[in-house]
Structure 1
Amino acid sequence: MKPVEILSEPTMAQPASAPAGQRVPGEPGLWVMIFGDLLAFGLFFVTFGVYRLSQSATFAASQARLNQGLGLLNTMLLLTSSLAIAIAVKALRERRLNDARQATHIGMALGFGFVGVKTIEYGEKFAAGITPISNDFFMFYFAFTAIHLLHVLVGLGALTFIRSRCAAVPTANGYKAVEGCAIFWHLVDILWVILFAILYLHP
């Protein structure tokens, strides 16, 4: 008997022009940038740890002056925003443009919320006379969080690009660009979770 061939039908969940069998999202160059960014932050964290060991009392007392409530709120904002962007990318892949647009709007709103909360937190510190030159802990605090805030602003620009791609089903290259922007936003989220842990929670 002649063997029966089982043919797989193309799925509507994948953009028509997306490359078949794509396994790594985004562009390879993006991953080089991300790993470089992680390496730089890793060196920052190691340096912070060395200073903490030599000034444990100062660091503990200074850490107690941070607003953990605002730090936790910002963590929830970014985690939820990252989830919204993941939903947006999935919706875009499935050609649900309206859902992708709405999810992107939510992700952007939460991102701007993070910026607003961080601005309030900075205002509290300056009002209390706390500046980057107060001690080494606050030097690291302001430096790390300011660099991260810059990443957030760049990330919001990336989310704006995703929003612009929700008008029509993107091409294969356009979809890769969307994935890359989403990956960068997830990186921003991961970096903040680490910062929250070592600045706000670490004893």
Structure 2
Amino acid sequence: MPEGAAIGTAEDRAVPSILLFIGADIASFILFFAVFMGERLAQPVQFARSAAQLDARLGLANTLILVSSGWLVARAVRAGTQGNRHGARRQLFAALLVGSGFAVIKLVEYTADFQRGLTLLTNDFFSFYFALTGVHLLHYAIGMVLLGYVARMARTSTDPEFETWLTGVGLYWHMVDLLWLFLFPMFYLQGLW
């Protein structure tokens, strides 16, 4: 190999880069989850009473929305990597449409919480609830923008990096799904026991 030559192409490095980002992001959430669980063990009654104030049906609906949207993104990645940009674009738009329900439900839920006087300052449970679901909502919003970008890219671009972008955004979206699959039982289901 000539001196100073790059190892691999930009495309070869792109997916591992997103994997490093996802790994670091998940590691930070794991730290927050551990702190939450420590506080939950220290205040079991308060956490159970607080969790019982959340609407588990809304949390379940959002779980189903994100899992369905993730399935559509997986179909888009498959279509895109098989050279079917039109099919990938259709699946991405379907994922965006289904996924938008998540924001609608969170808006309804947060509005109801605030109307009942529940805020970050209510108690430790709600501090964690609003902080972690809020950070997740930010990740979700970034994911929606990225899905829209890749859907547009599928329509207008002949860029050879499309598959790399599609795969990277797909991995990011699945991280958003995965994080919610931990947040949902952590916050919504403990109030049911």
Structure 1 length as normaliser, TM-score? 0.84
DSSP 3-state at the match of 1:133: coil
- Which residue identity lines up with residue 70 of structure 1 in the other structure? L
Are 1:148 and 1:188, in contact at CA under 8 Å, matched by a contact in 2? yes
Q: Which runs of 5+ in 1 are unaligned?
A: 1-18
Unmatched runs of 5 consecutive residues or more in structure 2: 1-7
Which position in structure 1 is the counterpart of 2:60? 72
Q: Secondary structure at the match of 1:66?
A: coil
What are the Cα deviations for residues 56-90 of structure 1, in whole angstroms up to 9, with x where unaligned?
00000000000001000000000000000111111
Alignment of 1:9-20 (within 5 A): none
* Aligned counterpart in structure 1 of residue 88 of structure 2, from 74, 90, 100: 100
Which residue, out of 72, 93, 108, partners 1:120? 108
Task: Calculate percent identity across the aligned residue pairs.
Answer: 35
* RMSD between aligned residues: 1.9
Alignment check: 8 A CA contact 1:26 1:178 kept? no
2:142 maps to 1:154: yes
Distance 1:185 1:170 in 2: 23
Distance apart, 1:193 and its partner CA: 0.7
The total of aligned residue pairs comes to 182
Choose the corresponding residue for 1:48, options 21, 36, 48: 36
Write the letter of the residue equivalent to 1:194. F
Q: Is the 8 A contact 1:81 1:110 kept in 2?
A: yes
**CA apart distance, 1:126:** 0.6
State whether residues 70 and 117 of structure 1, in contact with CA within 8 Å, keep that contact through their aligned partners in structure 2.
Answer: yes
For the 8 Å contact 1:95–1:169, the answer to whether it is kept is no
1:145 partnered with 2:133: yes
Larger Rg: 1
> Which residue identity is paired with 2:37?
G
- C-alpha change, 1:164 and 1:30, in structure 2 (3 Å) is same
Equivalence for 1:32: 20
User: Is contact 1:77-1:111 (8 Å) kept?
Assistant: yes
SS of the residue 2:161 aligns to: helix
Q: Which residue of 2 aligns with 1:131?
A: 119
For the Cα contact (< 8 Å) 2:66–2:102, is it kept in 1? yes
- Cα offset, 1:96, TM superposition: 2.4
TM-score (norm 2): 0.88
Equivalent of 2:173 in 185, 188, 191: 185
Contact 2:136 2:180 in 1 (8 A): yes
One of 60, 76, 100 as aligned partner of 1:88: 76
Higher helix share: 2
**CA–CA distance in structure 2, aligned partners of residues 110 and 144 of structure 1:** 22
Q: Which residue of 2 aligns with 1:10?
A: none
1:165 and 1:178 in contact (8 A); partners too: no
